């Protein structure tokens, strides 16, 4: 073989290998490197546990809640002062003058006195003289004042099954009611009216029982309604009875005028030792107002327009001093 051709053989082989490698290798795609820092972002990063979040303007400008300056007095009273309309007439005057809101609990006098004994009322307006005396003697109250009075009446359907119309003795009338077993509805609620009724039965020597005698456990207004519906007699304070006749009550007055039917009302400030929340100052303020001449004059006028007579007669010490002849 020619020596020159043999000498060029390695170079030719190297050229062939290089050409084959170039044909076999894929093209290499070059990527831009990923950024090591975020771009100048338009959205701030989320706060971490260590991030301090500043309050917004709305939060920083929020005002503390307003504290009400309204004063509240809790008055526990008998249903007759509520049902007669007296409280609706009197209390707005006191509230306007004193800047005090009066919250009324209208129950029987016995229940009102119990509320005072338990420290759940500031002041009481009741009509149960014997129980009021016991209340004060037990130091449940620190001040009692006479306020007013009216009277009780025995009312029945016009048919007058017991035949008591025109009688002047409540005891004799109750005896005839029992003898004839005329239906009778009792308050049965430990009220001042209920206490008076039971005292009359006791004076008559009678323990009322039987189908003719119903103990309702209700206020005066409800008992008058029941008496009309069941054609029964009952004992009522005059003020509530007259107020209900204006609303259409058909019961008639059978017995009135007996001294035993006298019905006095007193106002009592509850002993503040009963409860640290008792508003003793407001109770005294209310009592001072109620027994004052201006308030007593308002009481004297109550009912005259509608009934031609006052439903309650003023009886405070200030009133008696100013009207000694009455």
Each residue's pLDDT tens digit in the chain (326 positions)? 434 333 443 443 443 334 344 434 333 333 333 333 433 433 434 333 333 334 333 333 445 444 345 689 999 999 999 999 999 999 999 999 999 999 999 999 999 999 999 999 999 999 999 999 999 999 999 999 999 999 999 999 999 999 999 999 999 999 999 999 999 999 999 999 999 999 999 999 999 999 999 999 999 999 999 999 999 999 999 999 999 999 999 999 999 999 999 999 999 999 999 999 999 999 999 999 999 999 999 999 999 999 999 999 999 999 999 999 76
Which has the closest alpha carbon to 263: 240, 246, 234, 291? 240
Q: Helix, strand or coil for residue 155? A: strand
Torsion of CA 224, 225, 231, 237, to 10 degrees: 10
CATH code linked to domain 71-149+264-322: 3.40.190.10
Q: Where are the domains of the chain?
A: 71-149+264-322, 151-261
Please tell me the pTM assigned to this model.
Answer: 0.77
From the list 151, 108, 170, 171, the residue with the least C-alpha distance to 264 is 151
CA dihedral 96, 102, 108, 109 (to 10 degrees): -80
Domain 71-149+264-322 and domain 151-261 have a common topology = yes
Between CA 152 and CA 260 the distance in angstroms is 9
CATH architecture of 151-261: 3-Layer(aba) Sandwich (3.40)
pLDDT of residue 43: 40
């Amino acid at each position: 073989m020619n020596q020159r051709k043999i000498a060029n053989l390695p170079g030719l082989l190297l050229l062939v290998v290089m050409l084959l490698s170039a044909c076999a290798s894929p093209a290499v795609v070059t990527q831009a490197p990923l950024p090591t820092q975020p771009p100048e972002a338009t959205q701030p990063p989320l706060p971490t546990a260590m991030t301090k979040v500043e309050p917004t303007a709305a939060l920083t400008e929020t005002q503390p809640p307003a504290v009400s300056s309204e004063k509240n007095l809790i008055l526990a009273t008998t249903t007759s002062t509520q049902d007669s309309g007296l409280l609706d007439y009197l209390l707005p005057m006191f509230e306007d003058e004193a800047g005090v809101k009066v919250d009324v609990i209208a129950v029987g006098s016995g229940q009102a006195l119990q509320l005072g004994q338990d420290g759940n009322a500031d002041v009481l307006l009741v009509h149960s003289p014997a129980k009021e005396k016991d209340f004060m003697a037990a130091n449940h109250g620190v001040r009692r004042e006479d306020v007013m009075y009216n009277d009780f009446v025995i009312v029945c359907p016009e048919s007058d099954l017991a035949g008591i119309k025109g009688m002047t003795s409540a005891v004799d009338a109750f005896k005839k009611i029992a003898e004839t077993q005329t239906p009778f509805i009792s308050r049965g609620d430990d009220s001042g009216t209920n206490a008076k009724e039971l005292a009359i039965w006791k004076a008559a020597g009678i323990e009322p029982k039987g189908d003719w005698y119903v103990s309702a456990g209700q206020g005066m207004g409800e008992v008058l309604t029941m008496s009309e519906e069941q054609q029964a007699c009952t004992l009522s304070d005059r003020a509530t009875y007259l107020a209900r006749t204006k609303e259409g009550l058909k019961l008639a007055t059978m017995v009135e005028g007996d001294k035993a039917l006298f019905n006095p009302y007193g106002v009592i400030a509850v002993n503040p030792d009963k409860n640290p929340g008792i508003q003793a100052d407001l109770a005294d303020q209310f009592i001072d107002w109620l027994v004052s001449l201006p308030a007593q004059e308002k009481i004297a006028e109550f009912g005259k327009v509608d009934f031609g007579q006052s439903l309650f007669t003023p009886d405070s010490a200030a009133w008696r001093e100013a009207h000694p002849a009455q």
